[in-house]
Amino acid sequence: MSEEQLSFQAETSRLLEIVAHSLYSNRDVFLRELVSNASDACDKLRYLALTDPTLAGDTPYAVTITPDKAARTLTIADTGIGMNRDELVENLGTIARSGTAAFLSQMEKQAEGGGTSLIGQFGVGFYSAFMVADRVEVRSRKAGEAGGWSWSSDGKGRFTIAESADAPERGTVITLHIKEDAAEYLEPARIREIVRTHSDHIALPIRLVDGGKEEQINAASALWTRPKAEVTAEQYKEFYHHVGRAFDDPWLTIHGRAEGMLEYSSLLFVPSTRPFDLFHPERQVQVKLYVRRVFVTDSCAELLPSWLRFVRGMVDSEDLPLNISREMLQTNPVLRRIRQGLVKRILGELARKATDAPEEYATFWGNFGAVVKEGLYEDAEHRDALLGLARFRSTAGDGLVSLAEYAGRMRPGQEAIYTIHGDDAGQLARSPQIEGFRAKGVEVLLLTDPIDEFWTGAVGRHDGKPFRSVTRGGADLAKIEAPEGAEKPEPKGDRPIDGLLSLFKVALGDAVKDVRASERLTDSPVCLVADDGDMDMHLERMLRAARQLDQASPRILEINPTHPLIQGLALRAAEPGTSEELGEVAHLLLDQARILEGEPPADPNAFSRRLAGALARNLAA
């Protein structure tokens, strides 16, 4: 078959453009990326060869790096799984990773400003070759297939693909035509240094061909099998980049070895930044499984619960059979027990960080708290431990608080843990519904993650104290003692408002469930609350926005009996012939309460007419 010319997927072209034009601060990483891919390719073949040994043949698994100064080429060859035509087109012509499009636009914006630091966090895998090469040629033969293929590109929009007579017997050979300004990468000493820094953890031999002689330039032992004391922070970091396809620093490194009933090694990392696909609907766990040093699968869902999906790393089991199929993993009791051990260990390490380094922990919680809280909802077994780890914004200050701290600040007579739910903590802190709580010195947790609506309902109570939303049911404030020296509320009017309440109820009819005097308002005239057995208002809004719910249930309009406006209206209600005018005011106040909730008035036309009417009457008076 003759040569075919194909175009890169649009996103790939944009990425290549950025790679080629960015002044990348550390171009060395191109070698790490290519060696990392070569090692993955060998891992994949080693696994397949367990069931079909003919695939692997006799050639040992290795990566060979050959610089050729005369030809100005650097060749990276592996004896891994290789790629056929379609895989070359798919893997090297498109970007499959989710979040790439969003990331690219962020990066382009930054590039316009002259900065390119983001690129280092993302990593561009194979394409990083174009940082040092003006042409890249790939020759590959997939294990078990007869034909070989070549792929070639200058990274400028198009690539060619053709059948190749000189493809390796098995695996992939990547030849970089090194750019003028990148000659340093043809120096054996430089290559040695880069491999030692970035790829020493790779478990298979990396060889360098220098002056016709071949030498191994990495330790080539699996990093997780080495004793902790012999592994440097830098090596852990490089391994994290490789195993987690991550480019930030690990925030937490957990290296462990279990012995006894069950034997396994684990090397797990908590990232210091949020991965792009954290909220992808698949909620996929991304921890690799090895069995006795042989790679089995990239993301073993059985190793951790979804609410720990931000954890990266690997587990190497001594007990599983080597030929375990991916289907068998789902029901395997060994994996279930490994998972229990890992979760316990991770939660223990997080608890230690929470105590020893609260500020760092707050950053971790900011990144991953919303994911961990999914565990509160779906994992009853770990609920207590997770409640201990959870942190919240609250009305007590700017920092994060734990439930233990909250409990320590509860007022005498206070029986519940009070919460308010919404989208923005600042706005929640100003909600009318918490005025009375604030006046009594009662702390309210400001919950802004969508999952909060669900776990608070599922958990119900902590340490015997129920979670209670301040926008639902009665406020129970009468039983709670105000702190000594608390500002006494200013003396307010005490005109009875019963008549006004009845009038409002008649005027509003079905638009509300009830109208009642409020215990929870001190400064605002009105607010809305949900009845005890009804759904909390924020949850209802969320479900309606997601089209999971058609109709809103009517709320209770609470009015502040001591507010001057309400007092004035109560006086007016005692006069004959005012019911129509007060009916209009009732609707206006209901709409005002809705607006405070972030909702539009029930009928914007009627709202505008009533407001204009009220203003006109006032001005005319």
Ligand X SMILES: Nc1ncnc2c1ncn2[C@@H]1O[C@H](COP(=O)(O)OP(=O)(O)OP(=O)(O)O)[C@@H](O)[C@H]1O
With CA atoms as reference, report the closest residue to 307 among 249, 362, 244, 369. 369
CB of 240 to ligand X, least distance (A): 12
Among 38, 143, 291, 570, binds ligand X (CB under 6 A): 38
Q: Say whether 126 counts as a known binding-site residue.
A: yes
Question: 130: annotated binding-site residue?
Answer: no
Q: How far is CA 533 from the centre of its chain?
A: 33
Asked if 33 touches ligand X (CB under 6 A), the answer is: yes
Binding span for ligand X by CB under 6 A among 75-83, 212-220, 362-370, 408-416? 75-83
| Contacts of 453 by beta carbon, 8 Å cutoff, 6+ apart | 421, 447, 536, 538, 539, 542
- The answer to the question of residue 12 lying near ligand X (CB under 6 A) is no
Residue 123 assigned as binding residue: yes
Tell me the closest approach of the beta carbon of residue 98 to ligand X, in angstroms. 12
Which window, 32-40, 519-527, 553-561, 606-614, contacts ligand X (CB under 6 A)? 32-40
**Residue labelled with tokens 């971790």:** 364
Smallest gap, in angstroms, from Cβ of residue 42 to ligand X? 8
Residue 121 annotated as lining a ligand binding site: yes
Q: Which range of residues in 77-85, 146-154, 300-308, 559-567 is near ligand X by CB under 6 A? A: 77-85
Size of the site for ligand X (CB under 6 A): 16
Q: Which of 156, 190, 226, 245 binds ligand X (CB under 6 A)?
A: 245
Q: Does 453 bind ligand X (CB under 6 A)?
A: no
Shortest reach from residue 81's CB to ligand X, in Å = 6
Give CA–CA dist 70/73, Å, rounded: 8
Rounded CA gap, 485 and 154, in Å?
A: 75
| Side chain identity, residue 348 | G
Minimum separation from the CB atom of position 211 to ligand X (A): 25
To ligand X, the closest distance from the beta carbon of 125 in angstroms equals: 2
Residue 379 CB, nearest approach to ligand X (Å): 30
- Residue 37 binds to ligand X (criterion: CB under 6 A): yes
Q: Please list the alpha-helical segments (H only) found in 440-536.
A: 450-459, 498-508
Please check if 172 is assigned to a binding site: yes
Question: Which residues share a beta bridge with 461?
Answer: 466
User: What secondary structure letter does DSSP report for 597?
Assistant: T
Is 352 marked within a binding site?
no
Q: Where are the alpha helices (DSSP H) in 114-172?
A: 117-122
Q: Interface with ligand X by CB under 6 A: which range of 36-44, 48-56, 476-484, 587-595?
A: 36-44
Nearer to ligand X, 277 or 534 (CB): 277
Asked if 271 interacts with ligand X (CB under 6 A), we say: no
Q: What is the C-alpha to C-alpha distance for residues 592 and 597, in angstroms, rounded to an integer? A: 9
Q: Which residue is nearest to ligand X (CB)?
A: 125
* Contact present, 491 and 573 (Cβ < 8 Å): no
In the complex, the smallest distance separating the C-beta of residue 80 from ligand X, rounded to whole angstroms, is 5
Stretch touching ligand X by CB under 6 A, among 74-82, 153-161, 462-470, 497-505: 74-82
Residues 6+ apart with CB under 8 A from 356: none
Helices and strands (H, E) in the chain, number of each type: 20, 23
Please give the Cα distance from 41 to 606 (Å, whole number).
67
Task: List Cα–Cα distances, 144 to 52, 164, 353, 456, in angstroms.
Answer: 10, 16, 49, 54
Count of C-beta atoms within a 10 Å radius of residue 191: 23
Tokens 């990274």 map to which residue?
A: 155
Touching ligand X, residues 125-184 (CB under 6 A): 125-126, 172
State the amino acid at position 242 in one-letter form.
Answer: H
Amino acid, res. 431: S
List strand residue ranges (DSSP E) for 233-350, in order.
250-258, 264-271, 286-291, 294-297, 312-317
What's the closest the beta carbon of residue 328 comes to ligand X, in angstroms? Answer: 24
Residue 54, SS3 per DSSP = helix
Residue 80 touching ligand X (CB under 6 A): yes
Q: Does 417 help bind ligand X (rule: CB under 6 A)?
A: no
Q: Is 91 a binder of ligand X (CB under 6 A)?
A: yes
How far is the C-alpha of 342 from the C-alpha of 258, rounded, in Å? Answer: 10
Q: Does 78 bind ligand X (CB under 6 A)?
A: yes
User: Where does this chain touch ligand X (CB under 6 A) — which range of 79-87, 229-237, 385-393, 442-450?
Assistant: 79-87
- How far apart are the C-alpha atoms of 38 and 256, rounded to whole Å? 27
Work out whether 41 is an interface residue with ligand X (CB under 6 A): yes
Phi and psi angles of residue 471, each rounded to the nearest 5 degrees, phi first: -105, 20
Q: Which is nearer to ligand X, 78 or 453 (CB)?
A: 78
Q: Which is nearer to ligand X, 19 or 417 (CB)?
A: 19
Q: Which CB sits closer to ligand X, 9 or 402?
A: 9
**Is 98 known as a binding-site position?**
yes
Nearest to ligand X of 30, 455 (CB atom): 30
On whether 470 is known to bind a ligand per the annotation, the reply is no
Q: Is 313 exposed, middle or buried, given 0-12, 13-18 or 19+ CB atoms closer than 10 A? A: buried
Tell me if 432 contacts ligand X by CB under 6 A. Answer: no
Type of residue found at 194: I
Q: Which residues bind ligand X (CB under 6 A)?
A: 33, 37-38, 41, 78, 80-83, 91-92, 123, 125-126, 172, 245
Residue set of the binding site for ATP: 33, 37, 78, 83, 91, 98-99, 121-126, 172, 326
